[in-house]
Amino acid sequence: MTHKAVILGTGPAGLTAAVYLARANMEPVVIEGPEPGGQLTLTTEVENYPGFPEGIMGPQLMDDMKKQAERFGAEFKRGWVEDVDMSERPFKLKINGMDDVETDTLIISTGASAKMLGIPGEKENMGKGVSTCATCDGFFFRDKKLVVVGGGDSAMEEANFLTKFASEVQIVHRRNELRASKIMQDRAKANEKITWALNKTPVEMESDGMKISALRVKDNDSGEEEVIETDGIFVAIGHNPNTEFVKGKLDMDDKGYLLVEPGTTNTNVEGVFACGDVQDAKYRQAITAAGTGCMAAMDAERFLEGEAAIDWSHTLS
């Protein structure tokens, strides 16, 4: 059986695309990867998604979106995509734990994964004082002392943003020199709320059992460890788009983000569309991901409608 549309990924982008396609009677099949719901499942309370004046828990928002898509007929399957043959349509997907799947259109919304430090206390305290998104979680740390780990533009941007809420933001970086552009460095250094802990490597995140209480770091010269007391730790060392499985098959930038035709979700392969963080290295918000999910669904629907119209014109001639 060849499906009209297959969606890879179940974050805000993929689930929004599923809602739109299901309502258009396209019976989309959604392939859930190893982390259904995407990065929002690692977030506690979401307060910047429109329609929820009291906020909503990240996992709950994703679960509600999934139920909405299922209500209109979207089908969900769990599996890991190992390979995609885009040489001809229908596209053929090799999925671990499932039979091969064929589809006329493909929507890639596999997202991007935040790079993590991989130190003790990080994973278990995610959402309990550890975050990878200042825009998402900064509001919860009003008048608190915070730490931002990183030395690039993202870290400088996160630190500057957090000073709108926090009483102090300390930037921890493992080198003496920052990787950030000069303008971003100058902006951070001119901010009176930002302090610096350079040439220090994070080794452990400490908790009081309920939430983050400190970051333990090692001085790279002396080897001595010190404890930085903090109410929250923002890890800002970059993201990895989940595009390895289509490397060499779809156009992408030097960081691996899929390239789309401006103003659309069209990739360089007709019938393949990309939405959400997998093609967005700039905004990376739930609401922007959902918006591009809507676009991808409409692009896919119009693509198939255009083909149907062409086929019909052939029968008339």
Instruction: Give the sign of the dihedral formed by CA 123, CA 127, CA 128, CA 129.
Output: positive
Residue of 64, 104, 133, 299 marked catalytic: 133
Tell me if residue 254 is catalytic.
no
Burial of 182 (0-12, 13-18, 19+ CB in 10 A): exposed
Tell me if residue 294 is catalytic.
no
Residue of 104, 136, 153, 277 marked catalytic: 136
Residue of 104, 137, 153, 231 marked catalytic: 137
Tell me if residue 275 is catalytic.
no
Which residue numbers are catalytic? 133, 136-137
